Chain A
């Protein structure tokens, strides 16, 4: 009576092993890339938010400076400064000034 030998699975060939490693490495690399891109996106989002805030701040500052300029350079102030500080008067005569 002869005993049947158990079937021994065939060893995977080195090509299959290489393919599996490549897929594994690819998946791992893809995961790392996804994480890196997600990090980049977060970084860019933070930068965008900062820039938008900066834009808002600059626009606010521009508007405040415009108001300040408009107030300081109002002709009421200019006129008073001309008359009181610089003793300027509106001309009473018309004369041609030659260089």
Chain B
């Protein structure tokens, strides 16, 4: 009896063991993949490792573009059906039209993911949280903020909703600035808490910070004065470019109209153009110093040379070249200071065909500056008709070629560096680059000396005078091309200069497009902007005044 019971119990246990082993083998062999997937689906999750885009600073460490985390609300439309009240409450909490959200939910009815609204404010996050709605989730994203707003909008640029650079430095240096979110696989418990890192799929990569060459203080001064001048003269637009004369760095680059990069709705596309590098102008008289430079280099003229502009006009073929009044006999310095068209025409015609053209090329007017900003264009400077004296004459006083304000600034940078051409940069430089000598030091010094007369009482821009500092510069007033040739009523006013003239610290170009009113010349419109910007810039840069009143 007892032996029979013993074998029965042992047999049952053996059968149970065999049954369990068989079941285990069955699950491990035939159902393994399915069960593994199901188990993983319930316990393994991917988590994002946040990484933010690099910060853009100015040269002094002032933030120009900063990414900060914000929340985006999303739901799974297939998860559950929602009542109209829930939809309405959710829409109101995030500031969306309830009807719009309802129709969006219908469109996404078959999908498992739908953004309700991206990048909502902290207040909106609180409102949504208070609703305690099931199946409403937040996803952390980054939003780009631009504390300096419209002042630096064209240079810094913008990013899109996916944090990718679209314009300006954001686009040009996107590879360095952009971040890559990391991804890891974690084990979760029944309470959906992560309890273990299973594997790191992708390591997060933080974007690198970027230091631009801009000085936010100078940028602000330049923008304020430009905007003020455009309003005063009812001009269409304008630009100011300021370069560091020692290093070629762009200290300020502003355009007006501008836009607020923090609020891109209702921004006219026109306002988003970085005119200083994309708009081409005939530079007018601002290139005359280069013409005189070519004359001095030729050896046919020197600083004591006299040009007779009597009777105040001349004919070059069918072209009538004239000054506002008969300026008589002028030195080369006076030709520049008074911006005599006749004087410059006579100088140009006395030179070989290519001399003026070559001087322009060596000054950089035929090349892009490659400053680092995207969208830069190159002006037109052709040598195809230099045999024609009309072409040579008009070229000498700045017609028949086009440049961007930044190209013109680079040419004046060469003058500030005694004939050495420096590359221009929008990135901060720790050391001055080695330039390329294009003109003789003494010849360029002579030109700069001649350009000092521009703000004298007899010059074309007394209003460009900067208290305490001697400056060197040149005005320009170019007529714009219309459908029927040069337009009598539409002009561009320029002022291009260096300060202080003795040892230039900054190079500044001011361009005002289509000023209105009685005074539309470069000396009256652009000159005062130059003076006000330079006066503040030299103080900010700690340049000691030369003229000290007792």
Q: Which residue of B lies closest to A69 (CB)?
A: B63
Instruction: Output the least CB separation between A85 and chain B (Å).
Output: 18
Q: Mark A87-99, 1 if CB is under 8 A from B, else 0.
A: 0001111111000
Q: Which residue of A lies closest to B51 (CB)?
A: A59
Cβ B194 vs Cβ A49 within 8 A:
yes
Contacts of A49 in B (CB 8 A): 194
Q: Which of B64-72, B106-114, B305-313, B491-499 contacts A (4 or more CB under 8 A)?
A: B64-72
Instruction: Output the least CB separation between B528 and chain A (Å).
Output: 14
Cβ A67 vs Cβ B66 within 8 A:
yes
B148 within 8 Å of A (CB atoms): yes
Instruction: Output the least CB separation between B482 and chain A (Å).
Output: 37
Instruction: Output the least CB separation between A81 and chain B (Å).
Output: 14
A57-72 contacts to B, CB under 8 A, are 59-60, 63-64, 66-67, 69-71
Task: Tell which of B64, B197, B216 touches A45, judged by Cβ atoms closer than 8 Å.
Answer: B197
Cβ A67 vs Cβ B548 within 8 A:
no
Q: If the complex has contacts A64-B68, A74-B148, A75-B220, are A94 and B50 also in contact, measured as CB distance less than 8 A?
A: no
Q: Mark B512-550, 1 if CB is under 8 A from A, else 0.
A: 000000000000000000000001100000000101111
B468 within 8 Å of A (CB atoms): yes
Instruction: Output the least CB separation between A6 and chain B (Å).
Output: 17
When chains A and B are docked, how far (Å) is the Cα of A60 from the Cα of B295? 61
Q: If the complex has contacts A56-B50, A59-B52, A76-B220, are A94 and B468 also in contact, measured as CB distance less than 8 A?
A: yes
A73 within 8 Å of B (CB atoms): yes
Q: If the complex has contacts A60-B69, A66-B63, A67-B66, are A96 and B548 also in contact, measured as CB distance less than 8 A?
A: yes
Q: Which residue of B lies closest to A55 (CB)?
A: B50
B192 within 8 Å of A (CB atoms): no
Cβ A70 vs Cβ B66 within 8 A:
yes
Q: Which residue of B lies closest to A71 (CB)?
A: B147
Cβ B549 vs Cβ A70 within 8 A:
no
B9 within 8 Å of A (CB atoms): no
When chains A and B are docked, how far (Å) is the Cα of A69 from the Cα of B103? 42
Cβ B147 vs Cβ A63 within 8 A:
no
Contacts of B549 in A (CB 8 A): 93-95
A27 within 8 Å of B (CB atoms): no
B217 within 8 Å of A (CB atoms): yes
Cβ A63 vs Cβ B68 within 8 A:
yes
A41 within 8 Å of B (CB atoms): yes
Contacts of A52 in B (CB 8 A): 49
Q: If the complex has contacts A66-B55, A67-B145, A71-B147, are A94 and B66 also in contact, measured as CB distance less than 8 A?
A: no
Instruction: Output the least CB separation between B49 and chain A (Å).
Output: 8
Instruction: Output the least CB separation between A35 and chain B (Å).
Output: 15
Instruction: Output the least CB separation between A36 and chain B (Å).
Output: 16
Q: If the complex has contacts A70-B63, A93-B467, A94-B468, are A63 and B548 also in contact, measured as CB distance less than 8 A?
A: no
Q: List 8 A-B contacts (CB under 8 A).
A: A63-B68, A66-B147, A69-B147, A70-B62, A74-B147, A76-B151, A90-B536, A94-B468
Binding site for B on A (CB under 8 A): 41-42, 45, 49, 52, 56, 59-60, 63-64, 66-67, 69-71, 73-76, 79, 90-96
Binding site for A on B (CB under 8 A): 49-50, 52, 55, 62-64, 66-69, 145, 147-149, 151, 194-197, 216-217, 220-221, 224, 467-468, 535-536, 545, 547-550
Q: Which 7 A-B pairs have the closest CB atoms?
A: A70-B147, A94-B468, A75-B220, A63-B68, A70-B63, A66-B63, A94-B545
